[in-house]
Amino acid sequence: MNKPYGVLSQFTPEPGSRWGCLSDLVPIPRVYAAGRLDADSEGLLVLTDHGRLQKQLTDPRFGHWRVYWAQVEGSPNRDQMHKLESGVIIQGKRTRQAHVSCLEGSNSPTVAEREPPIRVRKNIPTSWLELKLKEGRNRQVRRMTAAVGLPTLRLIRHRIELKNGEPAFSIEGLNPGQWRQLSSIEANCLMSLLKNPAADQRG
């Protein structure tokens, strides 16, 4: 699923919340999101009814790269990029090593307009970064970019890359709010994760 802005990563609405929930968009019972995105973030969610598979996809010990596109305020310099890659201190703990690159020119992402649009300050440029992380701490990408002076204005999880080298799962071809069933190849790829002995030993 390509989760849009303003939707919680759960199927039950929060009492008194201004945010929507997944049941507004996905009419399938007894599934839940393998991993979360904040309501103000967008992008890839894998929905499943399989508990062990959910653990495989979300536990950082299993080493799946999560790839995010972040539209930030400002133009990143070499020092800021190095800090993001080598680790910054957020909430009293250093982040793990990451892969970070600028998305510019022909590599600039093509994304749907967000509703509501991001705030734009006339005299300050914005830039797109791609960040690949193996951990998923609370609001991690936003905290990381803020720590180096590049506040995140828009955040999209673009894909998940599996440790076993199988193809990534991405939001390519899905507009915000759209979802699709996995292909048989994708489903077999996911289920193959459960054949890893480490998966059984850890839970």
Cis peptide before 116, with omega less than 30 degrees from 0?
yes
> Which of 41, 32, 64 has the alpha carbon at shortest distance from 198?
64
By DSSP bridging, strand 47-48 and strand 32-33 are antiparallel
Q: What whole-number distance in Å separates Cα of residue 123 and Cα of residue 54? A: 44
Calculate the alpha carbon distances from 121 to 104, 114, 116, 142 in Å. Answer: 19, 17, 15, 18
On the CB side of 112, CA atoms within 13 Å amount to 18
- Known active-site residue 79: no
Catalytic-labelled residue, pool 38, 49, 59, 200: 38
Q: Going by C-beta distance under 8 Å and a sequence separation of 6 or more, which residues neighbour residue 172?
A: none
Q: What whole-number distance in Å separates Cα of residue 104 and Cα of residue 164? A: 29
List active site positions: 38
